[in-house]
Chains A and B, each alone.
Chain A
Amino acid sequence: MDAQSIITAAKLIGAGLAMIGAMGGGIGIGLSAHGAVQGIARNPDVAGQIQTNMILGIAFAEAVAIYCLVVALLILFVIK
């Protein structure tokens, strides 16, 4: 096994490990959707406002997962 294939293997493993962080984003998005659906079920009149805030919250939670994705992409495609 030459050095290049070891480096490639390490890159792939590293990119996979980096994506573990997406778990946090998933949990966050699930929680915010959970809260929003409960709120809408209790008070359907404010569904529009709740949806707006939910999308904002999801965007914040998702940003963390996207950082992981960017790190994984950097590891895969930029680092030689």
Chain B
Amino acid sequence: MADPTNAAGKKSNKWKEIGLPLGIAAALSALGWYFFPPVMPHVQLPAENLTHHPLISLPMPIGDIYLTNTLVATLLIDVVLIALVIAVQKATKSGDLIPRGITGVFEALLEALYNLTETTAGKWTKVIFPYFATFFLVVLVANWMELIPGVDSIGWLHEVEEGAHGAIAKGPFLLAGEGHYGVVPWVRVASTDLNFTIALALVSVVMTQVIGVRALGLPYFTKFFNIKAIFTVKPWWMGLIDFFVSVLESISEIAKVISFSFRLFGNIFAGSVMLFVLGYLVPILVQSAVLVLETFVGIVQALVFGMLTLMFMSLATHPHGGEHEEAHA
């Protein structure tokens, strides 16, 4: 007889454990909603300049380079990654063979990534792994910066141009209402700037070609301009088809840059827009659920970016010509 009551008691305890923090969080966000009603988010695609004067002025095709808020985020990514490197290196140099804390996390993570690389890349693992792991870590840190409160919401107050939607500024705060002020955040997630994602995509695609040439030598480029096939393949029209396939291959190489960059950009930009719009529409608890989703999206996109790089690079090291052999390898 004692058992069921005990179980019920445990159950209610569990609900208390979950319900109490949830209730407190709801009450706090309701209070916040009452005193600081959410400001309608202003969505802007290009990154905002933080300074009026350009950092560097280059000749015309490039033009002026300003300190944008996504550039600040990119520098922060570098700082975070270098700090992690130093921490892990210190721990490994100390001679302690048992990984603890951050070192243990990194050992587990990099081991999983290394095993993944080994199953795909074979003997080129040691060449390809650094690119894969670096892309994964950079994109992961960039994406997860979105989850830090204050990113995208703390910055200079400035007057918006005529006709745009503004809010009221009161002291250092931006309050909801009809006004003329907007906020230029100091830090904006780097992946929401196309410059960042295109740069990563270009590095990935160019290094794929470099690894392809390292693996196969100059014949690697017959993948793109297979003029030889017209003369060597027996029925001449089959050779012509091979040539057109190679032309398509070179087009798809350029499309890779677009698909890499727009996938990352679109996912993260849409994620941060959704975060702010939902935070504006339903300011209680819903944003927390979106934050969980964004954590997941951030790691999946980082993994996808890294894994596609890994796939393309290991495909580039395979000698082409026999699609069927590749399928079995």
Chain A residues in the interface with B (C-beta under 8 A): 49, 52, 55-56, 59, 62-63, 66-67, 69-70, 73-74, 76-78
Of the residues B46, B116, B269, contact of A52 by C-beta under 8 Å: B116
**Does the CB pair A55–B303 fall under 8 Å?**
yes
**Does the CB pair B303–A66 fall under 8 Å?**
no
**Does the CB pair A56–B266 fall under 8 Å?**
no
* Chain A interface main SS type: helix
Of the residues A49, A55, A69, contact of B300 by C-beta under 8 Å: A55
CA gap between A48 and B286 in the complex, in Å: 32
Write out the residue numbers on chain A whose beta carbons fall within 8 Å of the beta carbon of B263: 59, 62-63, 66
CA gap between A59 and B263 in the complex, in Å: 8
Q: A63-B262, A67-B266 are in contact. List 20 more A-B contacts (CB 8 A).
A: A49-B119, A55-B303, A55-B307, A56-B304, A56-B311, A59-B308, A62-B263, A63-B259, A63-B263, A66-B270, A67-B262, A69-B266, A70-B265, A70-B266, A73-B266, A73-B269, A73-B270, A74-B45, A78-B45, A78-B46
Cβ proximity bits B300-324 to A, threshold 8 Å, 1 near / 0 not: 1001100110010000000000000
Given the known A-B contacts A62-B263, A66-B263, A73-B269, are A55 and B116 also in contact in the complex, defined by CB atoms under 8 Å? no
Write out the residue numbers on chain A whose beta carbons fall within 8 Å of the beta carbon of B6: none
CA gap between A5 and B44 in the complex, in Å: 20
How far, in Å, is B48 (CB) from chain A's closest CB? 13
Q: Is B43's beta carbon under 8 Å from chain A? A: yes
Given the known A-B contacts A56-B308, A62-B263, are A69 and B270 also in contact in the complex, defined by CB atoms under 8 Å? yes
A/B pair count, beta carbons within 8 Å: 43
How far, in Å, is A16 (CB) from chain B's closest CB? 15
Q: Is B287's beta carbon under 8 Å from chain A? A: no
**Does the CB pair A73–B45 fall under 8 Å?**
yes
* Chain B interface main SS type: helix
Write out the residue numbers on chain A whose beta carbons fall within 8 Å of the beta carbon of B265: 70
How far, in Å, is B40 (CB) from chain A's closest CB? 14
Write out the residue numbers on chain A whose beta carbons fall within 8 Å of the beta carbon of B308: 56, 59
Instruction: Name which residue of chain B comes closest to A76, CB basis.
Output: B43
Q: Is B295's beta carbon under 8 Å from chain A? A: no
Write out the residue numbers on chain A whose beta carbons fall within 8 Å of the beta carbon of B209: none
CA gap between A63 and B301 in the complex, in Å: 11
Q: Is B125's beta carbon under 8 Å from chain A? A: no
Instruction: Name which residue of chain A comes closest to B260, CB basis.
Output: A63
Q: Is B267's beta carbon under 8 Å from chain A? A: yes
Instruction: Name which residue of chain A comes closest to B194, CB basis.
Output: A70
CB-defined A-B contacts under 8 Å, sample of 14: A52-B307, A55-B300, A55-B304, A56-B311, A63-B262, A63-B263, A66-B267, A66-B270, A73-B45, A73-B269, A73-B270, A73-B273, A74-B45, A78-B45
Query: Which 5 pairs of residues, A with B, have the shortest CB-CB distance?
Result: A66-B266, A59-B304, A63-B263, A70-B266, A77-B45
Of the residues B119, B262, B303, B311, contact of A70 by C-beta under 8 Å: B262
Write out the residue numbers on chain A whose beta carbons fall within 8 Å of the beta carbon of B43: 76-77
Write out the residue numbers on chain A whose beta carbons fall within 8 Å of the beta carbon of B262: 63, 66-67, 70
How far, in Å, is A22 (CB) from chain B's closest CB? 11
